[in-house]
Chain A
Amino acid sequence: MSEIALYTRPQSLEDVSMHYCPGCGHGIVHKLIAELMDEMDLRDKTVAVAPVGCSVIAYEYWDVDCTEAAHGRAPAVATGIKRFRPDAFVLVYQGDGDLASIGIAETIYAANRGENFTTIFINNTIYGMTGGQMAPTTLPGQVTTTSPTGRDVATMGYPIRMCEIYDTLEAPSFIARTMLDSPGGIRKTKTLIRKAFEAQVAGQGFSVVEILSPCPTYMRMDPIQAMKHIKDKVSEYFPVKIFRDRTAE
């Protein structure tokens, strides 16, 4: 009996085991990005920037040129790359601590200059790599190692909604928030990442997709519960929608 391959590993994804925990969203998003690099023929001109956080060694998973960046500084690093190599496809991958806390200045200013690169922003409401500390996006009441009785908004402030902040800026071309809550959510996420990539390819300026993503380990849930939590709780605070889309213009 002959075998027909219905699905194969994307060429832009390395054939290695990932270090991510079971049920983590990073592996899913890495794969979506690799599929799009194949489908859009981007692999050969991609220069990616890996962050500091759980995805620190993303360069071991994509088969593309990639550099590390200091914690939070990926948008500044990407600015340097893209300005010198405007023909490169520049991909920035960041988590919530990296993008919305320590690196928020670089985040806002690169977007405000309309730097023509694409940021994929994984919001899982937690610092995973360092062991489950409170993130800028940790929900009110959420228990973490540094908010052991739950995030108290009176003293710790509120979770920061980055897409809404990006949306106050004139320059960005594409801003969307999506979630990995189900197979449908994953498909939708891929569609939005494609649009963000298209915006860069068309030279329309800064594009970003925020992805609400499960972290079963530090949400202290099983993977199915974590996905359900994203749909029921996380997306309630962080509305899933397209904030801006200039790709049709």
Chain B
Amino acid sequence: MAKRVLMTGNEALGEGAIRGGCDCYFGYPITPQNELTAYMARHMPDHDRTFIQSESEIAAINMVFGASVAGARSMTSSSSPGVSLKQEGMSYLAGCCLPALIVNVMRAGPGLGDITPSQADYFQATRGGGHGDYRTVVLTPATVQEMHDFAAEAFDIADRYRNPVMILTDGRLGQMMEPLTLWDKEAAPPAKPWALTGAAKRIKRTIRSYYAGRVPENNARIQATLRKIEQNEVRFETYMMDDADIMLVAFGTAARLCRGAVDCVRADGIRAGLLRPQTVWPFPHEAIAGYCDQLKTVLTVEMNAGQMVEDVRLAVEGRTPVRFYGTIGGDVPSVADVVEQIRLLTTGSES
């Protein structure tokens, strides 16, 4: 029977990655994700797997690249400033069609910012982040259970498409404790007939993104993969949407608060509901668009100055007014704050 445990989000994520078949972890210290690195340092050796505390974020992502080249399920984790440093390596992973898991436990920016939780790396995460045309699959857990489950599943997604996958979360989810059920499926990594193993009894293999004169060909291959991901991997959850005429859209920590706010205003007869993207790339455009006919307003709630709201507007295409409420610089809204925003919408005042 599946085991129930109490863990922090960061540790649950680490355990999920181990159960998902993570062969190699490489990381560098940064708050608020240190519990994850420490968890991997403690537990990867138990499974005869590789843990290295790298000399830098840049080294870590390139170790991930190397392990992936060799066929491993490999990952790194960091927080916002560190993830900025990893962008070059992520671009190379995407350009070379290599699977990997990158975890961003977001904190406030720009610059050194603060160690407080934030969602301000949405643009970086969903637009590729590094140079060149590419995207990473971006999973956005909202519970410690999802931190765990998404980490376990991330390697399957990465291997299926040979594309990097990111888990985009924040310091609050990383450091809070919740009960969860441990992943109990056996990891089943696919054969990797492209991996570098030494060319015994076969022709050599080359892994590269450098194709002087033939880059369009490589990029077309990547784009075709991204279209498949868009078709197959959109994930979202709805709450109280059947009769809703106000739809909240939020992910991660902000979505938890919105759920609470929906419960509060429903008690007063306000028909609010929530759509919570569990992937922000690919984004649930169609699901959001599908609700437009029943809605008076969409309210997007984020812990940033307004980033995902642009994707919501692209989904809605002007058919419904889209409002935004956000907290910036590491502040986290309260349920009461969100309730107030919903009430303002219903009384005709604008936020």
Contacts and interface: CB of A to CB of B under 8 A. Distances in A.
Interface of A: 43-47, 49, 56-57, 59-60, 62-70, 73, 76-85, 88-89, 105-106, 108-109, 113
5 contacts: A47-B70, A67-B66, A77-B65, A80-B64, A89-B198
Contacts of B258: none
Contact of A80 (B68, B205, B208): B68
A68 B210 contact: yes
B225 interface: no
B62 interface: yes
Contacts of A57: 210
Contacts of B66: 49, 67, 69, 76-82, 84
A68 B204 contact: no
B334 interface: no
B50 A47 contact: no
Interface stretch (B51-59, B183-191, B292-300, B312-320): B51-59
Interface residues of B, number: 40
B21 to A, nearest CB: 13
Contacts of B55: 105-106, 108-109
Contacts of A77: 62-63, 65-66, 69
A29 B209 CA distance: 24
Contacts of B50: 83-84
Contacts of A70: 62, 65, 88-89, 92
A68 B62 contact: no
Contacts of B344: none
B26 to A, nearest CB: 7
A79 B200 CA distance: 21
B209 A68 contact: yes
A73 B199 contact: no
A80 B69 contact: yes
A45 B200 CA distance: 7
A7 B58 CA distance: 44
Contact of A73 (B23, B89, B204, B207): B89
Contacts of B63: 76-77, 79-80, 83
A10 B327 CA distance: 65
Contacts of A59: 204, 206, 208
A66 B69 CA distance: 9
Given A67-B96, A84-B71, A109-B59, 5 more contacts: A80-B66, A80-B67, A83-B52, A85-B197, A109-B55
B24 interface: yes
Given A46-B199, A63-B199, A81-B67, A76 B59 contact: yes
B70 A88 contact: yes
B23 to A, nearest CB: 6
A17 B50 CA distance: 40
A67 to B, nearest CB: 4
A85 B8 CA distance: 32
A67 B199 contact: no
Contacts of A44: 198-201
B131 to A, nearest CB: 11
Nearest to B89: A70
Interface string B171-214: 00000000000000000000000001111110011111110000
B67 to A, nearest CB: 4
A46 B198 contact: yes
Interface string B32-62: 0000000000000000001010111011101
B74 interface: yes
B101 interface: no
B208 A73 contact: no
B72 interface: yes
Interface string B60-103: 10111111111110100000000000001100100010000000
A67 B196 contact: yes
Residue of A80, A82, A89, A106 ringed by the most chain B CB atoms within 10 A: A80
B138 to A, nearest CB: 22
A80 B198 contact: no
A106 B196 contact: no
Nearest to B205: A65
Contact of B70 (A66, A73, A76, A81): A81
